[in-house]
Chain A
């Protein structure tokens, strides 16, 4: 060791290079390359890109709100109770992933298109609607015209076909909105099923008790896979109170491929056609990275 760092090191290296010039060039090349690689890997943009990738283990996505194309609306009028038959989708222990549910007529175009493409599965069920009406009929009057039976209830029961379109459980192509039976705000828009299957009385005022699946996931946005490519416009900033260092930067994603089910006229017409919905387009997100123990980690994305 002492011999290596002694004063004649440059002369020894020079001698080595003169004796074996090709091997030395190779060694120098390898050393240069690894130095370059080391520097590149530890440069700030690459570190930030790594943090960005680490934040999305399943790949980054850009999602488009689907709006009124999805949801559950059986269009039951006020005072009506409706229920469906008990199936794997509607039982109280089910957690269905729903794209759209409603009366069998008037299905949105996007739903029909996605079903043809195999993203959705169609289920046809029967909705039974019950309405108790109070009525003062002619039988409620005596001959002299006085009421002797002021109010009588009659129960009207109708049935109608409804459709439910489901997606694969936890399908990463969608974002989901949860709907569950909160004890304080019972969601009436889920899939009702009768609690008891005892026969209903023919007359009298009663409300049929119904129960819902404990949770329903409704696809609320369609997601496009995007790839983080580069980090630009890096601005370091220090928290004035804590002194923590963070970086504010713009992450540029590229859209390599638009899935076929998004690249349709129906999709552009009903959901929208933003600029990034094209192959080869670029997407920018303003992002904050926080430095923890020398390593930057993802903290906030201002677009999500």
Chain B
């Protein structure tokens, strides 16, 4: 259509509207009515679902747990049998153990501690899978055990008074003996990007009704300059693994429903994906040890959100009723 004819049509319409006000009113009413009739109701719900997606994308992904809280981080417990515990009790008062600083395990090391044992100890299947994937390394160290024990004479000394001979028996000269044993040991240390998935989070072990919390291995202290043992501050004994999710897109949504004065509600299914999927998560030796199911490449979450005028907020309970036969499916 040329610009001249467009001008012509616009001129005629405005002329008609100016000459007869009734026509102007009819035009406005027709346009408004057409707008209302032709815009489907679910379009506004679609817009609300997109707003919900935006608010999910602002959730933190480095703290909290996606179950029950506004967080994009998934946490899974690990079976405590994955740890190797072949080093005995670490914090025994009479037998403190510490490792001599070695390349790969010193006071400045950063990593995840999966336990250790005498040199050559077998790793479990889980750790072997992580070793195969290059996430965990076997670090050889020398562990010094300092034993502080009563001497033989002290053990034999019976401090009973012999009243006939008179006087106390002489106390032994040496009350205690000190000894240092050295042992070659292997520690299983995870380092690098993938090791960031494993972290200490004791909340993963709480709330398990009636189940005693599993043991996490105590990291071996490293002998520092003064001869005391300190646990490297960068070493973590994991309670589970956590990873961030990205909100991909809306899969399905319900109509926005009014639940009160200026308060509305919508239920939305959102496809979430892990930010990265290391190949080791699909190893059977790994997913067998995860207590809360495998790491899902496609994780769909369904939530109910409420808006009281200040943005969409997560509610505690997901209302699925409107999804039955009334949901709007978007799909992939």
Instruction: List chain B residues, Cβ under 8 A from A95.
Output: 251-252, 269, 327, 329, 331
Known: A95-B327, A201-B284, A209-B287. A214 touches B302 (CB 8 A): yes
CB contacts under 8 Å to A, within B279-320, are: 282-284, 287-288, 293-294, 296-298, 300, 302, 320
Main secondary structure, interface of B, reads loop
**How many residues in B have their beta carbons less than 8 Å from beta carbons of A?**
26
Q: Which of A45-92 contact B (CB under 8 A)?
A: 91-92
On chain A, the residues within 8 Å of B282 by CB distance are: 195-196, 198
Q: CB of B326 within 8 A of chain A?
A: yes
A93 & B251 in contact (Cβ 8 Å cutoff): yes
Q: Closest approach, in angstroms, between the C-beta of A63 and any C-beta of chain B?
A: 11
Question: Does B325 touch A at the CB level, under 8 Å?
Answer: yes
Give every chain A residue within 8 A of B144 (Cβ-Cβ).
none
Chain A residues, Cβ within 8 Å of B22: none
What residues on A are CB-neighbors of B297 within 8 Å?
195-196
**Interface size class of chain A, counting residues whose CB lies under 8 Å from the partner chain:** 20 to 34
Report the minimal beta-carbon distance from A221 to chain B, rounded to whole angstroms. 11
Q: Is the CB of A178 within 8 A of B293?
A: no
A180→B287 contact, CB < 8 A:
no
Q: Does B323 contact A (CB under 8 A)?
A: yes
**CA–CA, A178 and B325, complex, Å:** 9
Contact A178 B324 (CB under 8 A): yes
A176 touches B (CB below 8 Å): yes
In the assembled complex, A169 has its CB within 8 A of some CB on chain B: yes
From the candidates A170, A200, A204, A209, name the one contacting B294 in the complex (CB within 8 A): A209
On chain A, the residues within 8 Å of B326 by CB distance are: 170
A198 to B294, CA, bound (A): 14
Q: Is the CB of A206 within 8 A of B251?
A: no
Residues of chain B at the chain A interface (Cβ within 8 Å): 67, 251-252, 269, 271, 282-284, 287-288, 293-294, 296-298, 300, 302, 320, 323-327, 329, 331-332
A residues sitting closer than 8 Å to B (CB atoms) are: 91-95, 169-170, 172, 174-178, 180, 183, 195-196, 198, 200-201, 204, 206-207, 209, 211, 214-215, 217
